[in-house]
Structure 1
């Protein structure tokens, strides 16, 4: 069993990192509490990024386009900056004994998004349209991440890990704040009505719009994770 390798996997998939740069206390795979505690202790350092390995920062994140193509609502976010990932913590972590899957809960106290938007359709029951500047400040979020892992042999004959895919279940736990400028092309009464509805019915609104936002966030982090994992053979993490 590879206790340090397992730990690097968890750190990488939840944030980002390189064991060659950041020393991590060893944990046995069955000691979930040890692993979880160590992840949270070093998360701040890891999330800053490792430029020499091509691992970019995860706070802030920048996206040229985020698109929500929903049945009743179409929206696009442009030039969006997202901050707050560095304050997220990991809990309820589980690694399969055969190293094929990783599950954890990402607990985020607040994420802030701002940029440009374009929106049309219905927000649950209200018509909505507009374009301009926007800002969203989420409340608390619990994001359940279920990942599939893969081990493959590199050109050097050594084995390397990668994160093959993932699924999310996003659970908003407290009210967000929405601020969309120029809704209905500046008609204040209509804009105020939509904002009031969104704030009063935030669980339903969040459930409608959240997945097209959170999937790119996690996918961006995992791309950097896989860059890191390509540099660290599994044999580097053997138990003494």
Structure 2
């Protein structure tokens, strides 16, 4: 692409006292492109993005109640807003805070074990909605030089999550077994925060992987000097 600016790139300038705000608005500028995907750099749409599987052990014991969520389609990730950005300095990690108003999860649901006193093995559909999600990102970046151009790369990323409100439910469980469906839904309603706590470590890891792969796909195609124009290349 050389130094030609792609439409999804909003440029920021070295020496600008408001450069952090510029970077934040450059990330917000990307949202519609993330939602629709960017063909020329083989970036698929993130609406929805697909996660492979989460396995959750919810109660202990030999007949412990275990859920696995497969083929998880997650909607709403492109509708983020960033409130804080701290760039990496002297080898310290960069930090960013983003909020996602609502994430919806649609997944294939399988369970085994005993729930309260019901044998709760079955499969069906899982629907989850997580509202007002705060993500704290911390990561390390490096610079690679290729064909005389400098490129940024995200080497490691850590994601922390908190969620204000959640709803989880299942349907079409085990050939529409109504009693089992209601028991599982009651359990999910009353133990939503516990279920989310069990989900969290895997969800954090999977989201970190997703954010990293999106960032690196973009950064591999856009040299640093194109999105952060150095003083030497600025024309007055």
Aligned residue number for residue 119 of structure 1: 111
Greater Rg, structure 1 or structure 2?
2
DSSP 3-state at the match of 2:221: coil
Which residue, out of 162, 166, 171, partners 1:171? 162
1:22 aligns to 2:12 (yes or no) = no
Between 52-61 and 215-224, the greater mean CA deviation after superposition: 215-224
Deviation at 1:46, TM superposition (A): 4.2
DSSP 3-state at the match of 1:160: strand
Aligned residue number for residue 6 of structure 1: none
Aligned residue number for residue 150 of structure 1: 142
Structure 1 residues 132 and 190: alpha-carbon distance in aligned structure 2, compared to 1, 3 A threshold: closer
Could you tell me how far apart the structure 2 residues matched to 1:234 and 1:96 are?
Answer: 14
- Contact persistence 2:12–2:19 (CA under 8 A): no
Structure 1 residues 115 and 194: alpha-carbon distance in aligned structure 2, compared to 1, 3 A threshold: closer
Structure 1 residue runs of 5 or longer lacking an equivalent are 1-17
1:133 aligns to 2:119 (yes or no) = no
1:68 aligns to 2:59 (yes or no) = no
- Contact persistence 1:108–1:141 (CA under 8 A): yes
- Contact persistence 1:93–1:105 (CA under 8 A): yes
- Contact persistence 1:160–1:232 (CA under 8 A): yes
Deviation at 1:180, TM superposition (A): 4.3
Deviation at 1:171, TM superposition (A): 0.6
CA shift digits 1:201-236 (9 cap, x unpaired) = 322221112332353244234223212212223343
* Normalised TM-score (structure 1): 0.74
Aligned residues: 220
CA shift digits 1:53-96 (9 cap, x unpaired) = 11221112124x21326585644333332211122211222112
* Normalised TM-score (structure 2): 0.76
Deviation at 1:51, TM superposition (A): 0.9
More strand by share: 2
Which residue, out of 173, 188, 196, partners 1:182? 173
Deviation at 1:149, TM superposition (A): 1.1
Could you tell me how far apart the structure 2 residues matched to 1:235 and 1:192 are?
Answer: 57
- Contact persistence 2:129–2:166 (CA under 8 A): no
1:35 aligns to 2:23 (yes or no) = yes
- Contact persistence 2:67–2:109 (CA under 8 A): yes
Structure 2 residue runs of 5 or longer lacking an equivalent are none
Coordinate RMSD, CA, aligned: 3.3
- Contact persistence 2:133–2:164 (CA under 8 A): yes
DSSP 3-state at the match of 2:102: coil
- Contact persistence 2:157–2:212 (CA under 8 A): no
Deviation at 1:177, TM superposition (A): 3.1
Structure 1 residues 77 and 23: alpha-carbon distance in aligned structure 2, compared to 1, 3 A threshold: same
